[in-house]
Amino acid sequence: MDEIPRLDKKKVNVTSLDDIEEEKKYWLSKSASERIEAIEINRRMIYGRDRVASRLQRFLEIAELS
């Protein structure tokens, strides 16, 4: 899954944001691997390939207790 799939605008279905049950039914009909693949595609679309492949920066914060 190196390349982000192109959006097929012929297959886009626009619904109300209040229709949670239909969306829940759709995602429950998909297998776990299909759901994870959809999450990965969304991450790559939002953050780009380079930022997804890079590691998270580690940091340490020290809190002083009173």
Walk along the chain (66 residues) and give the pLDDT tens digit of each residue. 567 777 777 877 777 878 888 888 989 999 999 999 998 888 888 877 666 555 666 777 778 887
As a whole number of angstroms, the distance between CA 19 and CA 16 comes to 6
Looking at residue 36, its pLDDT comes to 92
**Which amino acid would we find at residue 32?**
A
Looking at residue 28, its pLDDT comes to 94
Residue 16's alpha-carbon distances to 25, 26, 35, 45, in angstroms, are 15, 15, 21, 23
CB atoms within 10 A of CB 44: 19
